[in-house]
Amino acid sequence: MQQAPSVDDLLMLIHRLSPSQQAQLFARLSAEIADLVQQMTQSSPTSRSLQGLWEHDHAPISPEEIDAARQEMWENFPRDDI
């Protein structure tokens, strides 16, 4: 399997092109990028609910674990040394 060229390799190749070839390349790339951006904005909803985001990916957190985390987080609040 052939490895994709690095960004530095691509830049080196672009610098070898004539100015007119570079202009053609940039015009085609900008059109491709504009199409990708349009597809991304059309296919994704403007806002997405985060409710249940990790529902199926992680083990459930028990109410006791939540209480222990809250207690640990707030046990030194407010600090006297500030």
What is the domain partition of the chain in residue ranges? 7-43
The phi-psi region of residue 22 (left if phi > 0; otherwise alpha if psi is between -120 and 50; otherwise beta) is alpha
DSSP 1: -
Residue 82 to residue 79: CA distance in whole angstroms: 6
| 44 vs 12: CA distance, rounded Å | 35
- 14 or 2, higher pLDDT: 14
The size of the chain, in residues, is 82
- Our measurement of the distance from residue 36's CA atom to the centroid of its chain's CA atoms, rounded to an integer in Å, reads 15
pLDDT tens by residue, 22-67: 999 999 999 999 999 888 877 656 666 777 766 677 677 889 999 9
Contacts of 14 (CB under 8 A, 6+ apart): 22, 25
55 vs 14 pLDDT, higher one: 14
